[in-house]
A and B are shown apart, each in its own frame.
Chain A
Amino acid sequence: MKKYKFFTNLDQEEQWLNDMARQGYTLVRKSFGYQFERSVPEEANYRIDFRTFKNQRDFEDYVALFEDSGWTHVAGTKGSGAQYFKQNGDQGNEDIFSDADSKAARYKRISDMWMTLCCCFIPIFAVLISTDAIDASVILKPQSLYYTPGLWEMNGTRFWQAFLFETPFALFRGIVWMVIPVMIIVYSVFAYKAKKEYEKSQRQ
């Protein structure tokens, strides 16, 4: 079973995974969505860390440390960031963090990742604007998105036919570049949210 959900709070995400395990769904993979497999309902203890690794060797070493400490790495890759762990049995530490600072530092790394993504898009956007690849004036003059010669001089049915035929293309021309500023805004909102969570969990 596949489920799509988005969390900005890791504690809530961990709780949700524990709830799913209680209902008999065990996490097997995480990419865009959560991939679950049917299993015996159980009281599980999922914990999430956030880290990316320079190479496979560092990643292997990281996973080995958690395995040695009684945790199974259930989802996450070298570059995925979020790393999902499930406790084996109930011996050892309850949590993968033993102090508030290191637990809070996860949010710092998440915030930094969104900020980096955001900062990658800003120069691209600036270049597209300065080279006139993006023409912001189309917002004021949407008719300039229509390329059919003599379209605005046509009348009646001929006009509507040509107009409606070209509208999807015009919309596409006008909207495609909007993806970039939207991404910049979305990424900075995520960065801000993670920053807030960082400050909140530091105070606890």
Chain B
Amino acid sequence: MSRDKHLPLTETVYYILLALLEPAHGYLIMQKVEELSAGQVRMAAGTLYGAVDNLLKQKFIQPTASEDSRRKVYVITDLGREMLRQDYERMRHMIEVTNMQWGKEELLHEKI
């Protein structure tokens, strides 16, 4: 199976897509990303704007109705959800095989 050329997603893109499972405007995305990553990913305004711009071009997210006249609100698309799911599967596989390898290593140590 050939993997989509957009995968693997970068850490920031993954968190932005995850944040946009619910509609949000730019600054709210920044806050959500920080919260979801337990403070590990802190994006600055210019970087976030560029990332959102790219995701719009790739059609992973789309603008949605906004009550705010100034701030645009975005939400994930079906394509975006699919990318998120595929990247999740990729990472889950990595975690499973890592656990398995570590498990084998421990068994080996016990025998010795």
Binding site for B on A (CB under 8 A): 47, 49, 51, 57-58, 60-62, 64-66, 68-69, 71, 93, 95-99, 102-103, 105
Known: A68-B26, A68-B27, A69-B30. A61 touches B71 (CB 8 A): yes
A63: shortest Cβ distance to chain B, in Å?
8
Q: Is B88 an interface residue (CB 8 A)?
A: no
Query: Which of B15-23, B48-56, B75-83, B100-108 contacts the other chain?
Result: B48-56
B: number of interface residues (CB 8 Å) = 18
Which of B1-9, B37-45, B91-99 lines the interface with chain A? B37-45
Q: How many CB-defined contacts (below 8 Å) exist between A and B?
A: 59
Chain B interface residues (CB < 8 Å from chain A): 12, 25-27, 30, 42-51, 70-72
Closest to B43 in A: A98
Are A95 and B49 CB-contacts (below 8 A) given A61-B71, A61-B72, A69-B30? Answer: no
Chain A residues with CB below 8 A from B42, complex form? 93, 98
Q: Smallest Cβ distance from A110 to chain B, in angstroms? A: 14
Choose among B44, B70, B71, B72 the residue that contacts A69 (Cβ–Cβ < 8 A). B44
